[in-house]
Structures are given as structure tokens and as C-alpha cells.
């Protein structure tokens, strides 16, 4: 993978990344509102529990209250899933929560790629059959654990990132209905 200041696609890539991450905030806000409503906690307590990511603060908060660590999206989803299953009627869970939960897990994986992958011009090995170099994001090229069988490279390209931004917004609107 290489990157050049003269690459004409760079602004489009960064625009797509910014749009997707900005729209992810709507998804996370919807997740918080579900958590807050189902946890029956005071707003301040629920907010600190849901949004706290500082490990030291988490340890200090956990001791007196024995609250769960919700420092990652996966942990938040797991806790909201538990709350939904404990608080909602089974038909609401199966009709509304389960499809939303599935969508949120898929979005989590894309969001994590957007947040942690490296931007650049992705040049897959010719034997991978992935075509010519394209602007996008992929795992750090030094991370050999991300190279798949046959030498293929996991990547998200500009079009896919724009699609993810649209999907994040649509899912956030689903929260409003929920």
C-alpha cells in the first residue's frame, strides 16, 4: 500500500471517513438511549457508565457500584442485548430487537474498520485477483494476521465507506422508531 500527497482520491476518502464516523455518533446515541431507558438508571449514572472509556475511571467506578465495563462497542451491545431480553416481551425482542441487534453488530465491524484501518492506495497482490490499486482503507500492512488465504487484502473502498455512512444513518433512524 502506498500513499502520495498528489493522489486525487485522498479528499474523497477523507470525506467518506468523516461522514461515516459522524453518522456513527447517531447510532451510538440511539444505543445509549436504549441503554438508559432499559437500565432504569439516573441519567448521570447511565451516561457515565455508557460513555466512560478511561480505564482508571472505569476501575474506580466499578468498585463501589459493581457496574459492568462498557468501554467497547461489543460490550455495550452485549449489555443492551441482555437488558432487552430481560425487559421486553419476547415478541418485541424477536420482531424488533433481534433484527436491530444483528444490524448493529454488522455496523460495529465496519465502524471498527473505519476507525482502525490505515488509509491509502491499496495495491493487492496480482495473484489475489482483486484488480488494480484503489483508494481505501485496510489493516496496517505490517499486520500479517489480516492477510487472508490466497494473499487477499481486507479493505473498504470509498464507495463502501459512503454506503456505510448511509446505513449508519438509516439504522439511527430505526432507533427512533424503536
Give residue-wise pLDDT tens across range 87-131.
Answer: 999 999 999 999 999 999 999 999 998 998 888 887 766 666 667
Q: Is the pLDDT of residue 54 over 80?
A: no
What does the pLDDT read at residue 64?
54
How far is residue 145's CA from residue 150's CA, in Å, rounded to a whole number?
Answer: 13
Give residue-wise pLDDT tens across range 22-51.
Answer: 999 999 999 999 999 999 999 999 998 898
Q: Which of 77-81, 90-94, 111-115, 142-146 is predicted with the least confidence, judged by mean pLDDT?
A: 142-146
What does the pLDDT read at residue 147?
67
Q: How far apart are the first and last CA of the chain?
A: 42
Amino acid at each position: 500500500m502506498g500513499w502520495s500527497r498528489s493522489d486525487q482520491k485522498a479528499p474523497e476518502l477523507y470525506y467518506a471517513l468523516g461522514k461515516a464516523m459522524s453518522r456513527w455518533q447517531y447510532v451510538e446515541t440511539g444505543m445509549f438511549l436504549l441503554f438508559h431507558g432499559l437500565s432504569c438508571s439516573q441519567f448521570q449514572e447511565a451516561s457515565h457508565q455508557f460513555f466512560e472509556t478511561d480505564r482508571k475511571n472505569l476501575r474506580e467506578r466499578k468498585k463501589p457500584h459493581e457496574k459492568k465495563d462498557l468501554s467497547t462497542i461489543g460490550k455495550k451491545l452485549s449489555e443492551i442485548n441482555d437488558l432487552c431480553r430481560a425487559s421486553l416481551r419476547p415478541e418485541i425482542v424477536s420482531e424488533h430487537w433481534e433484527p436491530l441487534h444483528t444490524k448493529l453488530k454488522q455496523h460495529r465491524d465496519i465502524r471498527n474498520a473505519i476507525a482502525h484501518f490505515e488509509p491509502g492506495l491499496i495495491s493487492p497482490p496480482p495473484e489475489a485477483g482483486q484488480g488494480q490499486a484503489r483508494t481505501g482503507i485496510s489493516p496496517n500492512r505490517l499486520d500479517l494476521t489480516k492477510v487472508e488465504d490466497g494473499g487477499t487484502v481486507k479493505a473498504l473502498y470509498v464507495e463502501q465507506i459512503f454506503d456505510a455512512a448511509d446505513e449508519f444513518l438509516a439504522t439511527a433512524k430505526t432507533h427512533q422508531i424503536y
